[in-house]
Copies of this chain bind each other. A is one copy, B any other.
Amino acid sequence: MIEKLTKDEMERALRDIGARHYHNHHPFHRMLHAGACSQPQVQAWALNRYYYQSSIPKKDAILMARLPNADDRRIWRQRLVDHDGEQPGDGGIARWLRLATGVGLEAAYVESTEGILPATRFAVDAYVNFVRERSLLEAVASSLTELFSPDIIAERVAGMLAHYDFVSRETLAYFNARLHQAPRDADFALNYVIEHASTRAEQDLVLKALRFKCDVLWAQLDALYAAYVAPGHIPHGAFLEQAPAESVAR
């Protein structure tokens, strides 16, 4: 029988997954941060990622509905507040929308999610369904990519401000809030999974859940890269430079 990992070993194993599989290593992010993206490529990123951002509160509501006690639900509820805001125009989704319009997209087009890549939808929906269908422990564990986000945010904000004249500090306001929200959320989730994984088998499920979530993030960038960087096979109906695509022969 394989022994249960200690608290420290478990945290190390989780951080090791981040070090190897987090999407900061993806070539699309390296391009984005180094200033190698065209404005339409940055737009495609902002547009597709809006679908991810706007699905997060659904995921959090599903998770909160599964938490059996008020203390945990109250803590998790803060994520809903952060993303949906206290009033219209407030919160993470609204800030991401301002990022998308800041790089030149129309708000209504972004909110419609009409122009996103099917693969974006499939990956994001896979995440929401994972949180609905797997054990509560795995559902919480799948949020742990936030352990790794402060580094990528710092790199992204600096890189994008330095390299793109169509990007301003206001455009990137979304990330300011995340810099303190993400570590707070990640701390709670990290303690939760370390406390609640009571066997090695459960610890392995936690590790696998974090791998799965890294795949969800990675696959979104793969789709962007395949459609907008590599010899573009942009799926019919997906975002095309400027024109909110109508009917383009494949």
Cβ of B21 and Cβ of A250 under 8 Å apart? yes
B residues less than 8 Å from A226 (CB atoms)? 222-223, 225-226, 230
Cβ of B123 and Cβ of A119 under 8 Å apart? yes
Cα(A126)–Cα(B21), bound, Å? 23
Q: Tell which of B25, B219, B235 touches A122, judged by Cβ atoms closer than 8 Å.
A: B219
Closest-by-CB residue of B relative to A217 is: B118
Q: Tell which of B121, B230, B249 touches A20, judged by Cβ atoms closer than 8 Å.
A: B249
Cβ of B20 and Cβ of A218 under 8 Å apart? no
Cα(A233)–Cα(B222), bound, Å? 8
Q: Determine how close the nearest CB of chain B comes to the CB of A211; give it in whole angstroms.
A: 8
* Interface residue range, chain A: 20 to 34
The 0/1 profile, CB within 8 Å of B marked 1, for residues 207-250 of chain A is 00000100110110011011100110101100000000000011
Q: Tell which of B25, B222, B233 touches A119, judged by Cβ atoms closer than 8 Å.
A: B222
Cβ of A25 and Cβ of B250 under 8 Å apart? yes
Cα(A216)–Cα(B125), bound, Å? 13
Closest-by-CB residue of B relative to A27 is: B233
B residues less than 8 Å from A233 (CB atoms)? 26-27, 222, 225
Cβ of A125 and Cβ of B118 under 8 Å apart? no
Cβ of A118 and Cβ of B219 under 8 Å apart? yes
B residues less than 8 Å from A249 (CB atoms)? 20
User: With an 8 A cutoff between CB atoms, is A129 at the interface?
Assistant: yes
B residues less than 8 Å from A235 (CB atoms)? 215, 218-219, 222
Smallest CB-CB A-B distances: 4 pairs: A226-B226, A118-B215, A230-B230, A122-B122
